[in-house]
Amino acid sequence: MSHTFTHRTKIAFKALQTNLSYILLFFSFFYSKQSYSQELKKKPIPFQKVNKIDSIIHTEKKTSLLKTKDTTAVSIDSIKPKEAIDGIISHDAQDYTLQNAKEKTITLYNNARVTYTDINLKAGIIIIDYKNNTVLAKGIKDSLGYKQRPVFKQGSQESEQDSILYNFKTRRALVYGVKTVQSGIITYGEKTKRVNDSTIYMRNLRFTTSKKKKPDYYIATSKAKLIPGKKIIVGGSNLVLADVPTPVFLPFAYFPLTEKQTSGFIIPSWGENDRQGFFLQNGGYYFSINDYVDLTILGDLYTNGSWGLRTDSNYNVRYRFNGNFSFRFENIIQGIRGLSNYDKRSNFNITWSHSQDTKSSPNSRFSASVNLGSSKYYRQSLNEFNNSQFLTNTLNSSISYYKNFVGTPFNMSLNATHSQNTNTQIVTMTLPSLQLNMERLYPFAGKGGVKKNPIQKLGVTYSMQGEYRINVPDNLFFTSEMFRTAKTGVQHNLSTNTNLKVAKYFTLSPSANYKDVWYFDRINKRYDPNIPNKNRDLGLGAPVNDIISGFNRFNEYNLGVSLSTNIYGTFNFKKGRLKAIRHTFRPSISYGYRPDFAADHNLQVQQSANPNDLLTYSPFENGIYGQPGSGVSNAIGITLNNVLEAKVATKDPNSDKEDQKITLLNNLNFSARYNIAADSLRWSPVSASAGTRLFKDKLALNANATLDPYQVNSKGIRINKFNGSLFRVTNVRVTANYSISSKDFEKDNDPKQNSQGNGAQNTPDVFGENMKTSNGFANNSSNNQNNNERETKKAALYKAKIPWTLNLVYAMNYASNGVTSDISNNSLMFSGDIELSPKWKVGFSSGYDIKRNAFTYTRLNFSRDLDSWRFNFNWTPFGTNSSYYFFIGVKASVLSDLKWDKNKPPDRRLF
C-alpha cells in the first residue's frame, strides 16, 4: 500500500504506513542499537501471567472498570491527544534485545530500561509494540520469586507494580499490583486504570503510611480515584489493623495530596468536662497564606455556654528572620445562671517569639519573647495545661533592638519588658527602656594602643539609661490609669579606673564613679487632717502624696580603691595515688567613700495631729533609679576567696596518661564591710558561700549563708552590741543536685560525654513535659530517633540492658531574725525515665515536701512507639491539677486525624 504526496503535509505514524514512514519509525527505535539478522539461541522468557489484557489498545472500548458511574469524574479534555509519537524512544537491556520485524516488537530482557520524553520505565522484561504504540513491562519469575518488578517514573511521580501496559500515544495505562507514594501516603492497588496524566482509577485499593512490607495498618476500599499530587477520593472504606478488619467504616473519604502547605479545615476533638459539660475543642481552619506566613484559627464550644478562641501564626523569611504569634481568649462559665454558684470570667493570653538571622544584619538585632495575659490564665484555662507556668508565679516578656554604630565606640539597645506576678496580680512594664553605651576608651594610651603605666591604663566608660515604667494591677491593664501612675527617668553614669602593680605581687585598682539622675516629676507630701492615720492609735491626720510635674535632678559620686593578690600553697604527698593538693587564696581589701547627698534634697512634713511630729522624706522616693544616698559612706570591704584542687595519679602505675586534676572545692568565699563613718552597727553581715562537685561532676553541692555579728532586741531589730558567740546565722540556703543514668555503669562510658550532673548549672527538669489537647504531648521526635537506632540492636534474652535516668534535687532554706526562726523550704524533687524496651518508655517527676510531710506536684508519662503509630498516656494523679490524657494515633501528619484521644482536664475552679 502506498501514498503519493503532491504537497507538503505533516506525516503521522500509523499502522501499515508507507515505506518512508516505516523507515523513519524503524530508525527512531533502533538508533545507536544493534539489530540481529537471525534469531539467536536464548533463554526461555518466563512470562508472568497478566490478567486478561484490557482493551486499552483500542481506546474506543470501555473496560469494566468504568461501568460504574463516577460522580467525581471530570469532563473529557477538549484538547485531543497527539496522534503521533513526539519523541525518541531509547532502550537497553543487560542480557539481550530481540527485534521481531514481522510483529513490529522489541523484547528487552534483564534490567531492561525504556526512556521516552519524561517517562522512564525499568523492569525485568519489557516488550515494545510500535505497531500499537504500547509497552508491556513485567518482572522475572525464578526459583527465588518474582523480582525486577516494573518501576514506572514520569516527572516526579514514581510507582512500582507487578506489570504494566502503557500506551505512548494516548498516555493511558493498565497496571496490576501497583505501589505508589503520594505525599507520604503509600497506596497498593490490585488493578489500576490510568486514563491520563491527571486521572487514575483503582480497584481494591489499600493505602497507609507504614513503610513495612506488611504494613501495620491500612485503609481498604473497593474503588478509588487518584489525581496525582492533588487528592484521593475513595468510596466505602474500612480500617484494617495487622490484617484484621476493624468496625471502623467510612462511607466515603477525601484525602488531599500535596507537597506544599495548603489551607483546610481542622477537625475538632470531643469530650466531657465535669463543670462545662460536653465540648468540641480545637476545631477550625488552617490558612496557608503564602510560603512565608500561615494562620490557624481554632475554637472551643461547651454545652454550658463557655467558649474559647485561639489564633496561631508562624512566619519565616529564610536568612532574615522567623517567629510565631498566638492569641488565646476563653469565656468561662460555671454554675447555673440565677443561682449563687454562677460565675463568669474571661481570660486571655498573648505569646510572641521572634528571632533574627545574624547574617541578615551584622550590626543590628531584633528579638522578641512575649508572654502576657490574665494572671490566672494558666490556672483556669480549659484547653491549656502548661506545667511549668502552672507551678510558677511570674510571666515575663522582652522585646529588644540592638544597634552598633560602626566607626564609633557607641552602641544602643532599646527594650520593652513585662513582668507579671500571678499571685499579687501586679504588672510591671517598661515602654520602653533605652540604653546607650560607650566602649571603654583609653585617652592616655601610647601609640598603637600601648598601655604600660597606670596613666596609659586609665580607662573611661559612659552609659545612659532612660526608662518609662508602668506598675499597675492587671485589672487596670490597658486603661488610662496605667499611664497616669507611670514613672519616667534618665540616668547617666561615668566611671574611670586603672591598675598598677605594687610590691610586685599586689594589684592596686583605684576608681571613680559619677551618676546624674533626671526625673520629670517629684513627690510633694502634705498633711491632711481628715484622713485616718496608718497608726490607728494616732486617729485622724496623715500625710498624702501629690505628684508635681517638672524637671528634677540629683547627682552623686563615689571614690574607691582596691588591693588584691593571689597566694598559692601546694601540699605534696609521696605515697598513694594522691600526688598533691593545691590551695588558691585570693584576698582583697577595698576602700570606698561617698558623701551625704540626701541632706540637700530632703523635706519634712507633719505626719500626725502633733505639729512637732515631723516626717523627713525625699522628693525622689520610689523613683526608677532610686534617691540620693543618705549619710556618709566611708567603708572598708574585705573579700576572701578560696579554691582547693587535687592531683591524682592513674590506677595503673605503668600508664602513660597524665595525672588527673580534681576540684575538691570550687569556691569558699567570705565578704564583709566596715563603715567608718557610721555611729553604730559599723559591721555589715558577713556573706559566705561554698560549692563543690563530686563523683565526676554528678553531684553538685552549694551553700550560702548570712552571718550577723550583732544582737537583736525583743522585736528582732539589730542593736549595737556584739553576739556572745562569734556570729548569728540569719539565712542559710543549701542545694544538692545529683544525676545518674545507666550509662554511668557501662565500662566504655566516656565521662566527657555526660552532660548531666553539673549541679545548679544544669538543673534537671523535675516538672515534666507540657500537655495540650490540641497536639497531644510534646514532640517526641528525638525519642523516636533514639528508638529507631536501638531497634537495630539485638538485646539478649537475659541480662538485657535497660536504659534509665534519675535526677534528684534537694533544697533547704532557713531564716532567723534572732527571735523566731523558720525553715521555709525543705523538699526533695526527683524525676527520670526508664526504657522498658527499645520502644517502651516510662517517665516520672515528683517530689516530697519534708516540712509539710506531703508529696509535691506529681506527673507520670507512658509512651510507646508503635512504628507507624504512637501512644501516650500522661497522668497527674492528685493535686489541684489532677488530670489524665490518653492518645493513640498515626505519626504521619497526612493522616494525623486518624487518632483516638481521651482526656480528663484539671478541675478548673474560678479562684
DSSP string, 759-799: GGGG----S---BBTTTBSS--HHHHHHHHHHHTSPPPSSS
Quote the cell numbers at residue 387.
506545667
For 42, the grid coordinates are 536464548
Distances (CA, A) of 476 to 427, 483, 626: 9, 10, 25
Q: 656: burial class by Cβ within 10 Å (0-12, 13-18, 19+)?
A: exposed
Rounded distance, CA 895 to CA 234, Å? 15
Separation CA 666–CA 689 (nearest Å):
10
What was the pLDDT predicted at 796?
43
Cα-Cα-Cα-Cα torsion 260, 262, 267, 268, nearest 10 degrees, comes to: 100
CA distance 116 to 86: 9
First to last CA, the chain: 98
Are 369 and 353 in contact by the 8 Å Cβ rule? The answer is yes
What's the pTM? 0.68
Contacts of 328 (CB under 8 A, 6+ apart): 308, 309, 310, 348, 349, 350, 373, 377, 381, 384
Q: Are 155 and 129 in contact (CB under 8 A)?
A: no
Q: Give residue 497's pLDDT.
A: 92
Provide the pLDDT for residue 799.
46
What are 370-393's pLDDT values in tens digits?
988 887 777 778 877 666 666 677
Please name the helix (run of DSSP H) or strand (run of DSSP E) that holds residue 105, with its range, or none: strand 105-116
DSSP calls for 866-892:
ETTEEEEEEEE-SSTT-EEEEEEEESS
Residue type, 378: Y
Instruction: Give the CA angle between residues 329, 335, 336 to the nearest 5°.
Output: 115
Element at 287 (helix H, strand E): strand 277-287
- Are the C-beta atoms of residues 311 and 299 closer than 8 Å to each other? no
Q: How many CB atoms lie within 10 A of CB 652?
A: 8
Report which residue type is found at 63.
T
How buried is 487 (Cβ within 10 angstroms: 0-12 exposed, 13-18 middle, 19+ buried)? Answer: middle
Task: Centre a 10 Å sphere on the Cβ of residue 750 and count the other Cβ atoms it contains.
Answer: 8
Q: What is the pLDDT of residue 85?
A: 59
What is the radius of gyration, based on Cα positions, of the chain? Answer: 41
Q: How far apart are CA 130 and CA 107, in angstroms?
A: 11
* Closest to 818 measured CA to CA, from 893, 719, 887, 903: 719
Q: What does the alpha-carbon distance between residue 279 and residue 304 come to, in Å, rounded to a whole number?
A: 9
pLDDT of residue 620: 92
Task: For residue 842, give the C-alpha cell.
Answer: 516510662
Q: Other C-beta atoms within 10 Å of 600: how many?
A: 8
Residue 388 is predicted with a pLDDT of: 63
- What 3-state DSSP class applies to 28? helix
Q: Where are the domains of the chain?
A: 1-61+83-177, 740-904
Taking the CA atoms of 175, 180, 183 and 186 in sequence, report the sign of the dihedral they define: positive
Task: Give which of 911, 904, 883 is closest to 345, Cα–Cα.
Answer: 911
Sequence-distant (≥ 6) Cβ neighbours of residue 781 within 8 angstroms? none
Positions in the chain whose pLDDT score sits under 50 = 1-76, 752-769, 771, 773-799, 910-911
Produce one character per residue of 799-822: b if its CB has 16 or more CB atoms within 10 Å, e if not: eeeeebbbbbbbbbbbebbbeeee
> How far is C-alpha 237 from the geometric centre of its chain's CA atoms?
38
The residues pairing with 862 across neighbouring beta strands, listed in sequence order, are 842, 873
Positive/negative CA dihedral, 388, 393, 399, 400: negative
Q: What pLDDT does 593 receive?
A: 93
* Cβ-proximal residues to 800 (8 Å cutoff; 6+ apart), any chain: none
- Report pLDDT for 662: 87
d(CA 386, CA 777) in angstroms, rounded, equals 11
Rounded to an integer, what distance in angstroms lies between the CA atom of residue 626 and that of residue 601?
A: 13
